Amino acid sequence: MLIPTDDPTCKCKKVVAVLMFWSDTIHLTSFGTAKMWPIYLLFGNLSKYIQCQPNSGATKHLAYIPALPDSLQDQLKSFHHKWGTQQMHVLTHCRQELMHMVWKFLLDEDFLHAYTYGIAVRSLDGIE
Q: What is the pTM of this model?
A: 0.69
pLDDT exceeds 90 at position 123 = no
Which DSSP category does 9 fall into?
T
14-48, pLDDT tens digit by residue? 778 888 888 888 877 777 777 788 899 988 888 88
Q: Domain locations in the chain? A: 2-121
Amino acid at 42: L
> What 3 state SS string does 23-83 have?
ECCEECCCCCCCEEEEEEEEECCCCHHHHCCCCCCCEEEEEEECCCCHHHHHHHHHHCCCH
114 three-class SS:
helix
Q: Write out pLDDT tens, residues 45-58.
A: 888 888 888 888 88
58-100 pLDDT, tens digit per residue, is 888 888 888 888 888 888 888 888 888 888 888 899 989 999 9
